[in-house]
Chains A and B, each alone.
Chain A
Amino acid sequence: MNSDPRTTPRRNRRHALAACLLATFGWVTGSSAQEPTWRTVDQLTEEERAQFDPNTAAPRDAAIPYLPAEPYPFEAPYTAEEMGYRSSEFAHIGRWSHSLVDVYGAITTSGYINQGVSVGYVMVTMPPGIEPYGAYLRDIKAGDVYARWMLYNTFPPETEAEQQLWMVYRTDPKITTKMDFFVYSPQMRRVRRQPQPRRDQRFPDNAQTFDDVMGRDPWELEWSLIGTDVLYKTVRYPNTRPTITLNDGQAGFVEKQTADIKPMSDEYPHYQSDGGVKCWVLKATVRRDLVPDYAEKTLLFWVDQHSFYPLRTEKYNLKDELIMIEVRNAEMANPEFGQHGYSASISLYWDLEHDIMSYSLHDGHTPHTWTPEQQAMIFTPEFMRRQWLVESVKSQALIEDPDHYFLRPEIHRDKFPAERKIVLAPELEARSQAEEAAGHLIFETAGASDTN
């Protein structure tokens, strides 16, 4: 819970020296090649100090002792724990009723690409108008279903009409079952209840784990602030894909220049003059007393300083080695909830251990009030047998060619070196550098006649 006892001035000087050496001899990308964009806690500006409460023993809620006593969404100054709670609000799927089409895929080192399209209906069992995460924390009883996600695959042909129903539970430190999970397979023509996926296990053919999708409950983590940073790019498009056609929900299909896509979308009012997004950088350590067999030891979150939206997440294993980077672009998907209305428009995950990069693009996101009849009809296991795509949501965002796949997330090797142990295989390091220079992924090793 300590804010960061290890970030002494002397250590900071060493970090700055390390960053300079890396900038001279190694691979330092993006804007960080000039002045460092990151600062440790003791280097916070006055404005940031006013927003940050270093207290690590904030009073607890009388009724729900694992929650801070201050009512959600808290008020400045924020403790690291409160920042963690705020950032946990922004799970992969928005916490309000809506419909969308999820375009997703994964690519390997060789250029093998596997994609899918799934229309999603999300029904949250909270009255409309209530800030959803506060209601989740305070008003939903542990063990109760608070959301139902119905997913209907429309691509590829092999899984067309395959469906999944996720019935998502409010959990607490003791009631840890996160969902009931049903699958309908058109090949089997049967609805099958499936075991809940293991929380820290990568989905097959993907870099995402179950918890990456569901989100992590903040009370299972110990939070500290390790500093601030400015992010300029999160999800990066290659120079082989200059435009993308997105489903804007209300406005229909809109072609966008990929170079113009910003991390928090155009509406975000807090960009710096140079386009950067000021972030808190939080460290979350998994509480072994609550989650003893978890494969992840720590996570680092870059959350924007105004809504606490997590734009970048890094996961470290039990050996403290970086194993996964997630970067997101967000959009204001539900203005009704103000700064709580941001949602992921695209998330990119890079599993460094297996060098798999997967993405999930949420297209056509539309807040949706489901009628009582629709609630009773759509969000049940037996509905899947009807193979009924009630409302089609279309997307044109599939990647046509492996060469058009997203660039790897930036490593930012210079930032917070004391907290970040990054071990990349030499071949992967070389390949990444070559990709940075080329502006797109490279699938073949050096020396071949055709490098792409």
Chain B
Amino acid sequence: MSRNARAIGGVLALVCLSAAPALGIAGEMSNMASKFDRAIATFNPIGKHVRKPIERAVPSLRFKGSVRQWSDFLIDTDDHIGFREQDFRFLQLQNLLELEMAYQVAPGLDINAVTHGLYDGVYDWQSSGGLFADGIDRTAEVYNDAERVLREFYVSYRTPRFDLLVGKQQVIWGKMDGQFIDIINGMDRRESVQLETEDFETRRLPTWMANTTLHFGRNSLQVLYMFDFEQDRQPLPGSPWASPFIPPASLSTDITHPVNRPSSSYFGDHEFGLRFDRSAGALTYGVIYGYLWDKNAIDHVIGVEPQLGQPSLLHFEPRHERLHHLGVTTDYATTMPQLPWVGSVPVVLRLEALWTHGVRFVDFTKQAAARAGDSTDGTAQHDTLRAAIAAEFGLPYNTTFILQPSYYHTFGWNKHLGYGFGGGIGDEWTILPVMFLSRTFAFSRDRLSAQFTALPVISGPEVGWQGIKTKLRVKYKFSQFVTGQLIYNGYDAGEPTDFYGQYDEWDNIGWELNYEF
């Protein structure tokens, strides 16, 4: 614990030193901080010595990048939770280098590439028997294959009324925090419940596709044709965020076969998407349709192996399911006049909803029936709905308040169903009334800002309260190139099998340093 305290103290001291002049601390310390401020104001070595010379030598090339170090460590000390040995302290010690290049071949014609290099020190820099995911998949520790390193690579051709982008890319649909109609790319969900909107850019898994958009007046129509498939990556067994309540494969006697993935070489397995947008003054809206694969495979029973005096063994084949998605998005701006204490308040309202047809769920009643000899694949199909409405308020003192109730529903739900895309979390319906508060602090000349988020989870009719996640982030701007953050994430209440409740012992503090050049 003392080691953690020293780490926090060190970071706080650095922030205090930097904030000293803004805080009005007089004398030598203030002068020292001023020297630091002025030195770091122009600290951009890669920008000066790499980016500028490259761009000068190749005027048609745009080159930029970032170096990011972010670490999270556990506050709680429990050693044995559920099926896990929590004998580690750090949840991530990640170092990410990103380089982004765009070369203009001709006006309107560009070649774009984004490359990533990641190293996560959690497997090397602490002694732990509970962390072994790097032995299952090396990319948990380091990006060591071309698929991960070459993150995006596409050719873009643009005319005033038409865009065509062909290659590996990420396409983001929607306007809301979280994922509602953002359904095109898979996601690396190694951080499980700690994955949030600001991480999507680095965690999303780009896909090979042709992406074209037609622009006419205030309207645009986007058509996607995806000839490659990227599934979600859930936390691996033996990774820091692997669920403590999922039993290890070694405890199961059933046999799981390799995943049956859609094939990029078979046209029938390719995916398609459509998006239409229109803006009309204070109102903008859009409609989307996707004919996509479920990014997560569902176990299908493909065989039963009778055992003498024992329950039969099941043979599972995880398969991805074809889904039809239909979604809407809209936003509207207005001003609430003359409220007490806060005066006129500008407000933006956003709405997003996605209805999905034919989501495949594991049905544990059917699995039991299969084990008893019935002919069933142990799954069931249901439609789901996920939707959110958000109200964002511009309050005094550069304070922003967002209230975003989110709703997830499984139609025709029964309590023997497992998890399925877009549906209620372990229940028929789930509500997350997310609250977000953000402000800058004038005493620091707005270099210091704080954000607080509360994400309670309530579901019904079976489970009820599923716990709450709270997040406090304090961000400090060292310069226009370097920023730092301290982040606290807490997971409280709920039962050990609940959405947040299972991570009750995963409260953590993190820091992040980011240099962009």
Q: Contact flags (1/0) for B500-517 with A, using CB distance below 8 Å?
A: 000000000000001011
Q: Which residue of A lies closest to B343 (CB)?
A: A293
Contact check, A157 vs B398: say whether CB atoms are below 8 A apart: no
- Which among B38, B160, B277 is the interface contact of A443 at CB below 8 angstroms? B38
How far is B333's CA from A180's CA once the two chains are assembled, in angstroms?
7
- Determine whether the beta carbon of A158 is less than 8 Å from that of B480: yes
A435 adjacent to chain B (CB < 8 Å): no
Set of chain B residues within 8 Å of A112, measured between Cβ atoms: 21-22, 37-38, 41, 445, 447, 479
A204–B158 touching, CB < 8 Å: no
Chain A residues with Cβ below 8 Å from B37 are 108, 110-112, 402, 443
Q: Are B392 and A195 in contact (CB under 8 A)?
A: yes
A113 with B41, Cβ < 8 A, contacts A193-B331, A195-B392, A381-B279 known: yes
**Considering residues A157, A205, A293, A374, which has the most beta carbons from chain B within 10 angstroms of its beta carbon?**
A157
The answer to whether the Cβ of A201 comes within 8 Å of any Cβ in the partner chain is yes
Is the C-beta of A265 less than 8 angstroms from some C-beta in chain B? Answer: no
Contact B34 A110 (CB under 8 A): yes
Q: How large is the interface on A (under 10, 10 to 19, 20 to 34, 35 or more residues)?
A: 35 or more
Is B126's beta carbon under 8 Å from chain A?
no
Are A114 and B477 neighbours in the complex by a CB distance under 8 Å?
yes
| Cβ contact within 8 Å between A157 and B41 | no
> Is residue B145 contacting chain A, with contact meaning CB distance below 8 A?
no
B375 within 8 A of A: no
B217 proximity list for chain A (CB < 8 A) = 376
CA distance A403 to B479 in the complex (A): 16
A221 → B minimal CB distance (Å): 18
Which residues of B (330-352) have their CB < 8 Å from a CB of A?
331-335, 338, 343-348, 350
Interface flag for B137 (CB, 8 Å): no
Which single member of B160, B332, B346, B446 contacts A198 (CB below 8 Å)?
B346
Q: Which residues of A contact B41 (CB under 8 A)?
A: 111-113, 401-402
Query: Which chain B residues border A188 with CB–CB below 8 Å?
Result: 172, 197-198, 200-201
User: Which residues of chain B are near A388, meaning CB under 8 Å?
Assistant: 158
Q: How far is the CA of A146 from the CA of B174 in the complex (A)?
A: 28
Q: Which residues of A contact B514 (CB under 8 A)?
A: 158
Please determine whether A401 and B42 come into contact, CB atoms closer than 8 angstroms.
Answer: yes
B309 at interface by CB-CB < 8 Å: no
B481 adjacent to A195 (CB under 8 Å): no
User: Across the interface, which residues of A come within 8 angstroms of B170, CB to CB?
Assistant: 189
**What is the CA–CA distance of A402 and B481 in the complex, to the nearest angstrom?**
15
Interface size class of B (residues with CB under 8 A): 35 or more
- B121 — which chain A residues lie within 8 A by C-beta? none
The residue of chain A having its C-beta at the shortest distance from the C-beta of B220 within the complex is A382
A381, B284: Cβ atoms closer than 8 Å: yes
Judge if A176 is at the interface, Cβ distance under 8 Å.
yes
Chain A proximity of B443: nearest CB distance (Å): 8
Chain B CB count within 10 A is highest, among A160, A176, A195, A383, for A195
Q: Mark B38-51, 1 if CB is under 8 A from A, else 0.
A: 10011000010000
- Which single member of A157, A180, A204, A293 contacts B338 (CB below 8 Å)? A293
Chain A positions within 8 Å of B477 at CB level: 114, 205
Can you list, as one digit per residue, whether each of B440-473 has a CB less than 8 Å from chain A (1) or not (0)? 1010011101000000000000000000000000
Query: Do the beta carbons of A195 and B28 come within 8 Å of each other?
Result: no
Given contacts A114-B480, A195-B347, A381-B279, contact A445 B220 (CB under 8 A): no
B147-191: contact bitstring with A at CB < 8 Å (1 yes, 0 no)? 000000000001011010000001010110000000000000000
Query: What is the 8 Å Cβ interface bit string for chain B, positions 469-496, against chain A (1 contact, 0 not)?
Result: 0000000010111010000000000000
Decide: A193 and B350 in contact? CB cutoff 8 A: yes
> Is there contact, CB below 8 Å, between A180 and B281?
yes
> Contacts A190-B172, A354-B442: A377 and B346 contacting too (C-beta < 8 A)?
no
Assuming the contacts A193-B331, A204-B440, asked whether A445 and B30 have C-beta atoms less than 8 A apart, the reply is: yes
Interface residues of A in 191-216 (CB under 8 A from B): 191-198, 201-206
Is A115 interfacial (CB 8 A cutoff)? yes
Instruction: Judge whether B66 is part of the interface by a CB distance below 8 angstroms.
Output: yes
A198 to B217, CA, bound (A): 31
B200 partner residues in chain A, CB cutoff 8 A: 188
Task: Tell whether B3 is near chain A: CB-to-CB under 8 Å.
Answer: no
User: Which chain B positions have C-beta within 8 A of A157?
Assistant: 47, 64-66, 481, 516-517
Cβ of A139 under 8 Å from chain B? no
Partner of B42, one of A177, A400, A448: A400
When chains A and B are docked, how far (Å) is the Cα of A204 from the Cα of B444? 11
Within 8 A of B (CB), among A68-89: none
Q: Which of B65, B333, B345 contacts A181 (CB 8 A)?
A: B333
- Give B158's nearest chain A residue, CB to CB: A388
User: When the two chains form their complex, are residues A354 and B31 in contact, meaning their CB atoms are under 8 A apart?
Assistant: no
> Does residue A356 face the partner (Cβ distance < 8 Å to B)?
yes
A156 near B348: Cβ-Cβ < 8 Å: no
Which of B42, B65, B175, B197 contacts A191, CB < 8 Å?
A: B175
Q: Kindly identify, within residues 356 to 394 of chain B, every residue whose CB is under 8 Å from any CB belonging to chain A.
A: 392-394
B27 beta carbon closer than 8 Å to chain A:
yes
Query: With an 8 A cutoff between CB atoms, is A187 at the interface?
Result: yes
Residues of chain B within 8 A (CB-CB) of A61 are none
Residues in B whose Cβ lies below 8 Å from that of A289:
none
Interface bits A141-160 vs B (CB < 8 Å: 1, else 0): 00001000000000011101
In the complex with contacts A111-B41, A195-B393, A205-B445, A176-B335 CB distance below 8 A: yes
Q: Which of A108, A160, A195, A383 contacts B346 (CB 8 A)?
A: A195
> Which residue of A is nearest B30, CB measured?
A445
In the docked arrangement, what's the CA distance between A383 and B218, Å? 10
Cα distance A431–B30 when bound, in Å?
14
Chain A residues closer than 8 Å to B324, beta-carbon distance: none
Q: Decide: A197 near B333, CB < 8 A? Known: A158-B480, A204-B440, A381-B279.
A: no
A180–B282 CB distance below 8 A: yes
Q: Is the CB of B446 within 8 A of A189?
A: no
| B480 in contact with A193 (CB, 8 Å) | no
Asked if B146 lies at the interface with its beta carbon under 8 angstroms from chain A, I say no
Across-interface contacts of B350 in A (CB, < 8 A): 193
Instruction: Say if the beta carbon of A127 comes within 8 Å of chain B.
Output: no
Cross-chain contact A160 with B335 (CB below 8 angstroms): no
Interface mask (B122-160 → A, CB under 8 Å = 1, otherwise 0): 000000000000000000000000000000000000101
Given A192-B175, A386-B163, A356 and B445 touching (CB < 8 A)? Answer: yes
Residue of A nearest to B170 (CB): A189
15 A-B pairs besides A106-B445, A112-B447, A157-B516 with CB distance below 8 A are A108-B445, A109-B22, A157-B47, A180-B282, A189-B201, A191-B175, A197-B394, A202-B398, A205-B445, A292-B338, A293-B343, A293-B344, A382-B220, A386-B158, A444-B31
- Some 5 contacts from A to B, beta carbons below 8 A apart, are A108-B22, A158-B483, A201-B397, A292-B343, A293-B338
Which A-B residue pairs are the 4 nearest by beta carbons?
A: A110-B21, A293-B343, A195-B346, A195-B394
